[in-house]
Amino acid sequence: EVSITKFPADERKIIAKAHDKYKKARAGIINTRHGQIHTPAFMPVGTKGTVKAMLPESVQTTGADIILGNTYHLMLQPGAKRVFKLGGLHKFMNWSKPLLTDSGGFQVMSLSKLRKITEEGVIFNSHIDGSKFMLSPESSTEIQYLLGSTITMAFDECTPYPSTYEQAKSSMELTSRWAKRSRKAFYSRDGYGQFGIIQGSIYNDLRLKSALDLIELDFEGYAIGGLAVGEGQELMFKVLDYAPDLLPINKPRYLMGVGKPADIIGAVQRGIDMFDCVIPTRSGRNGQAFTKYGVVNIRNSKYKEDNTPLEEDCLCPACKNYTKAYLHYLVKVKEILGAMLMTWHNLMYFQKLMLRIREYIAQGKDFDFIS
C-alpha cells in the first residue's frame, strides 16, 4: 500500500513547538511495490520513458527515488499496449524504482492543437502525425495500468489561469466527476496507488469543494493541480497557505509542475511532500546550471577561459572532472555531452536540496537557505 509511514501527527507537534513557522513541513516515507520514496521528494521528468540526456542508473545515483512519465506521450509512441507486451515501462526503460505517470489531460491541452472536451473525455489529434485519439478517465487509467505505473494520476482538467469563478467552478466539477470515474477504473493492488488532483484555481471555496469531493473517493494521495500556470509565486503561495490543510494529514501531497528551488522550499513550508518539474533537465540542456552561488548561465562569454568547476565540492561528474570553460564550449557547439553533464549537475543539485530539506525537517530546523 502507498502510505506515508514515518512521520505524521506526533513528530509534527514536536517540530511545531521548536519552529512554529515551519509546523506544516513534513518529512516522511512512502512505501511502494518498487521501493521507498523519501519525502519531501523531487521527481525528475521522464516524459517519453527517458529522463533526457541521462542514463536511468545515473538518475538513480543523483538520489532520485521516483521519476515521472507521461500518459499522453507514451500512448502515442510507442503505445501503452506495446509497452505492456514488452513487460511494462519499468523494464522497457530500465528503471526499477517507483514511477508516477501523469494522466494526460494537462499535456493534451498544451500540446495538441485540435482537441474537444466533452463529459466523456477529450478527443484530440496527435501533435506528431495528426491522427485521432481519445482520452477519458477510464482509458487514461487503463493506459497507466498497462504502463505499470507505481502511482497513477486521476484524469483531470487543468484549469487555465486566469479563469473566472464560473469557469473554474465548472472545470473543478468536471474534474470531480472524472475523479470518481478514474477511481472506479483503477485496479487497486498492494504497493500501487492512485492520486486524485484537486482543482479550483485561486478560489478558496472551490479548492475546499474539490478537496471534499476527492477525499470521499479515498485516494492513496492527493495532488494540487492548476498551479504554476502563470499566476506567479505570490498567488501560488496564497493558495498553498490553505489548500494543503484541506487534505488528509497522513497521505502524500503532490504539487504538480513545481518548480524553482525557492518555490519548492516555500511549498514544503506549507505542507507539500512531492514535486515534479522540467526545470533542472530542460534548463540544463539550455545551459543553465543551479549552483550554491546562484544560477550560472554557462553560455556567458565570461566562462570561455574559466578553469574552475561549477561547484568545487559537488560530486557530480560535471564538477569532479570538467571546468566551466569546457562546459561553456560543449554547450556553445551543442555537443550531446554538454547536455548530459549540465543535466547531471542540475539533477544532483535538486536532490541535494531535497536531502537537506528532509534533514532540516527531521532536526526541527528552519530551512530558509534559498528564497
Residues annotated as catalytic (active site), given as ranges? 102, 276
For position 326 contacting ligand GUN by CB under 6 A, the verdict is no
For position 263 contacting ligand GUN by CB under 6 A, the verdict is no
Residue nearest to ligand GUN (CB): 225
Q: Which of 59, 172, 265, 314 forms a contact with Zn ion (CB under 5 A)?
A: 314
- Cβ count near 233 (within 10 Å): 17
Binding partner of residue 197 among ligand GUN, Zn ion, none, CB cut-off 5 to 8 Å per kind:
ligand GUN
Query: By CB under 6 A, what part of segment 77-116 binds ligand GUN?
Result: 102-103, 105-106
Which residue type is seen at 340? M
| Shortest distance in whole angstroms from residue 78 CB to ligand GUN | 22
Residues in the chain: 371
Q: Which of 183, 207, 324, 345 forms a contact with Zn ion (CB under 5 A)?
A: 345
| Shortest distance in whole angstroms from residue 62 CB to Zn ion | 10
CA-CA distances (angstroms) from residue 313 to 37, 104, 318, 319, 349? 26, 39, 11, 8, 11
For position 200 contacting ligand GUN by CB under 6 A, the verdict is no
| Shortest distance in whole angstroms from residue 226 CB to ligand GUN | 5
For position 156 contacting ligand GUN by CB under 6 A, the verdict is yes
| Shortest distance in whole angstroms from residue 282 CB to Zn ion | 17
For position 226 contacting ligand GUN by CB under 6 A, the verdict is yes
Nearer Cβ to ligand GUN (261/309): 261
- Cβ count near 356 (within 10 Å): 15
| Shortest distance in whole angstroms from residue 361 CB to Zn ion | 24
What is d(CA 120, CA 127) in angstroms, rounded to the nearest whole number? 21
Count of residues of this chain found to bind Zn ion when the rule CB under 5 A is applied? 5
**Bridge partners (DSSP) listed for residue 253:** 222
For position 316 contacting Zn ion by CB under 5 A, the verdict is yes
Residues near Zn ion (CB under 5 A) are: 314, 316, 318-319, 345
Residues near ligand GUN (CB under 6 A) are: 102-103, 105-106, 153, 156, 158, 197, 225-226, 256-257
